[in-house]
Amino acid sequence: MMELFEYLKGNTYPGRGILIGKGGEDGNTTVTAYFIMGRSINSRNRIFEATSDGIRTKAFDESKCVDPSLIIYSPVRRFENKLIVTNGDQTDTIHDALSHGGSFESALMTREFEPDAPNFTPRISGISDENGYELSILKTVPGENRGKKSIRCFYCYDFERGIAHIIHTYEHDGEPIPTFEGEPRRFALPELPIDDFALGLWNSLDKENRVSLFVRYTENGRENTKIINKQN
């Protein structure tokens, strides 16, 4: 099984990524991570900021913020015992659905990929509680209906000690940027305290393109969060 950090080091531009699983020093702590990368000045002009129930993205320099529609959102929110993490404003769609008796799946069936032609960036989402976790990707179909029709995929996992899955928006850099392919990738997580794991993850991301990283360890209801921003 490929090592997570080496996997990320081999890709200069996976885009935005979500990781959920079990790790930590005992291999049995719930680990959630979300990272963002950027190639444009607008995308790189962001930081993560803690909120009462998660984090939000924020322009580091407000004067350089050109179009906030797809880059300013709440990537992480909590609903009761569930932690939601996504790469866009579908975080709020999921939160609202759960608060009205809906589900992760029913919420995302109302959404599609981002309208950022020619890339049509996928919407990736995750949710976890004490019983397990789910990941999802909403992406455009290939071929003549590219940018017109959607594929919506959902993956449900039981927790395994020391194992996590990662999904990211892009396979690698390109023009247009190729969409993530296949199922979320499975990795054994190193048994590290949160500071060491977050630093290892951050250092695995391309120095030029990395923007911000969020990592949370949850064990027995206790949460420990680490945020790293390139812009300080």
Q: Which pLDDT value is given to residue 1? A: 57
* Coil, helix or strand at residue 198: helix
CA proximity to 70, closest of 143, 159, 169? 169
Q: pLDDT digit string (tens) for 126-140?
A: 999 999 999 999 999
CA distance 209 to 203: 12
Rounded to the nearest 5 degrees, what angle is found at the Cα of 167, between the Cα atoms of 180 and 130?
Answer: 155
Residue (of 26, 28, 29, 31) closest to 4 by Cα position = 31
Question: What are 101-118's pLDDT values in tens digits?
Answer: 999 999 999 999 999 999
Rounded to an integer, the average pLDDT of 18-43 is: 95
Number of domains in the chain: 1
Q: What is the mean pLDDT of residues 68-74?
A: 88
pLDDT reading at 77 higher than 60: yes
The three-class DSSP label of residue 227 is strand
Overall average pLDDT of the 163-182 stretch: 96
CA Rg value for the chain: 16
**Domain assignment of residue 31, given as a range:** 4-229
Which CATH number characterizes residue 135's domain?
3.60.20.20
Asked if the model's pLDDT at residue 2 lies above 90, the reply is no
50-77: b (≥16 Cβ within 10 Å) or e: eeeebbbbbbbeeeebeeeeebebbbbb
Burial class (CB in 10 A: 0-12, 13-18, 19+), 202: buried
Is residue 155 very low, low, confident or very high in pLDDT (cuts 50, 70, 90)?
very high
Residue 220: pLDDT band (50, 70, 90) is confident
Q: Mean pLDDT score of the chain, rounded to an integer?
A: 95
Among 61-75, 186-200, 206-220, which stretch is predicted with the lowest mean pLDDT? 61-75
Which tokens sit at 151? Answer: 């594929």
143-to-146, 150, 151, 180 alpha-carbon distances in Å:
5, 12, 13, 16
Whole-number percent of the chain with pLDDT over 90: 91
